[in-house]
Every structure is written in C-alpha cells, then in structure tokens.
Amino acid sequence: MIEFNNVSKEYSRDVYALRDVSLSIAAGELIFLAGPSGAGKSTLLKMIAGVEKPTSGSVSVNGQDIGKLKAGSLPYLRRKLGLILQEQKLLLDRTVLANVMLPLVVTGASGTEAETRARAALEKVSLADKANAKPQSLSGGEQQRVAIARAIVNRPQIILADEPTAFLDRDNANKVLSALKAFQSAGVTCIISSHDEQFLDKASRVIYLSNGRVTDSWHSALAA
Ligand SMILES: Nc1ncnc2c1ncn2[C@@H]1O[C@H](COP(=O)(O)OP(=O)(O)O)[C@@H](O)[C@H]1O
Ligand SMILES: [Mg+2]
C-alpha cells in the first residue's frame, strides 16, 4: 500500500536526505524505521504524507502517486493518515479534549460528534480521565498519548509516528508503543521512527536507514 521507487531527496545542492530508496510496506504492518539522527527518517515519513516531495523517484500510497497529487487533493490523502510528527505540538491553552477534537472540527464534524469521537479516542489511549486537563499538567508520556489520540480520531488507515518515544523513560515509552500496537492489531498500518534500539523487537519489520540509504541492519546503519 506504500511504495517508494528509487526515491531521492536533495534539500539543497549535494545535501541528500534520502538516496535511491525503494521499499514497500503492506497494509497492517508495524514498521520500525530505525537509524541514527540525520539518517533521513523524518524526511521519509513526511514524504508519505506529502509534506515533502521527492527530488527524483516516486512515492505512492494506495496506488496514488503522491508527487502527482494536486494541492487540493492532499487533504483527502491526509485524512487516511494519522500523523504524529515532531512539529505538531499540542495546543497548551486548550484542554486535552479540545486538542483531540481539533482534526474533526477542522473537517467540519458537528461539535457533539467531534466530542463523542474524541472521548472514544482518549479511551483507547487510556486517558479518558484527563479529558478536561491542560496538556502541561500531563507527563511527557501522557502528552504523547494525547498526540496519538489526536492522530487516530479520524480513524486513519496508516499511522506515521516520528520518534514518539524520544524523551520518554522506558515505562512511558512502552505505554506509547503498546497504544500504537493496539491500533495495528485493529488493522491500522503503523510506521514508527526511532533512534533507540531497545524497542525494535516489537515491530513486524525493521527498516534501517543510514545516510539516507536503506541498509540491512542496525550495525551497518551505525557503522556507515
Ligand atoms: N528542511 C530541510 N532543509 C535542509 N536540510 C534538511 C531539511 N530537513 C532535513 N534536512 C537534512 O536531511 C538529512 C536527514 O534529515 P532527517 O530526515 O530529519 O533525519 P532524521 O529524522 O533521521 O534525523 C539531515 O542531514 C538534515 O540535516
Ligand atoms: Mg527526525
């Protein structure tokens, strides 16, 4: 359902974030995208969402070439995606519930429907009791689970999570990963980037990136 064909991304002259990446990810997989900082993980995830476009090669999702989508079609693609990107901070002046309702409000759902679905999403990440709290009163792990609830409230087919366990202790990181794994069990494809080796055994498959290229193991990713 996700295909990269010989994808390269050159941000500026001779600065390559990805080099000749070809891969395919099937529906229902839980993929760990592993590699050190600067390997190209965020760039790869952003390409699936159409946030960044390839310099050469093509990326397709469900058979649709993302690079050829018109700007007006991007919102339809994004509705199939649950994005947990590092740039997308929670709004600190709104409640947890309001944060999770936001994607629904933006797409025109009624207030009551948005609230019902946002509460259900919070239930799925075990944060129903924090609905009325402000994000800054939550732990880092809880905030990351709010971000997951916000990402899944539109019932996406694919979740893209960029280093969701960064800055979390092992216990909180495990809770975040369990929440993501539960969505995979329900049929959602999950792609999770991480520069941390300790969680890789939870994945159905690990894709290693190093200097913008796919490599065959963690050790070759670090050695490059
Ligand atoms: N917007 C950008 N402009 C220029 N260079 C960028 C940009 N985003 C990323 N890069 C460069 O591309 C490479 C890969 O970055 P990134 O995809 O963020 O890797 P990772 O997420 O694995 O740390 C790095 O060398 C980074 O400096
Ligand atoms: Mg990154």
Q: What is the C-alpha to C-alpha distance for residues 131 and 59, in angstroms, rounded to an integer?
A: 37
C-beta separation of 84 from 147 below 8 A: yes
C-beta separation of 66 from 48 below 8 A: yes
Q: What integer pLDDT is reported at residue 90 of this predicted model?
A: 94
Find the angle CA(1)-CA(194)-CA(200) to the nearest 5 degrees.
80
8 CA → ligand 1 middle, Å = 13
Q: Which ligand is nearest to the CA of 33?
A: 1
C-beta separation of 72 from 149 below 8 A: no
Q: What integer pLDDT is reported at residue 79 of this predicted model?
A: 85
**Ligand 1-lining residues (CB < 6 angstroms):** 11-12, 15, 17, 35, 37-43
Report the atom number in ligand 1 closest to the C-alpha of 212: 14
Report CA dihedral (81, 163, 99, 67) to the nearest 10 degrees: -30
Ligand 1 atom 16 nearest Cα: 40
Q: Name the CA radius of gyration of the chain, rounded.
A: 17
- Probe residue for ligand 1, chosen from 16, 37, 42, 211 as the CB with the greatest number of ligand atoms within 8 Å: 42
Q: What integer pLDDT is reported at residue 167 of this predicted model?
A: 82
User: What 3-state DSSP class applies to 88?
Assistant: coil
Q: What is the C-alpha to C-alpha distance for residues 83 and 149, in angstroms, rounded to an integer?
A: 10
Tens of pLDDT, residue by residue, the chain (224 residues): 999 999 999 999 888 999 999 999 999 999 999 999 999 999 999 999 999 999 999 999 999 999 888 888 888 888 899 999 887 889 999 999 999 999 998 888 899 999 999 999 999 999 999 999 999 999 989 999 999 999 999 999 999 999 999 888 888 888 889 889 999 999 999 999 987 777 777 788 999 999 999 997 766 666 65
| Pairing state between β 64-65 and 56-61 | antiparallel
State which amino acid sits at residue 22.
S
The set of residues, in sequence order, having a beta carbon less than 8 Å from that of 150 and lying 6+ positions away, is 90, 99, 100, 102, 103, 121
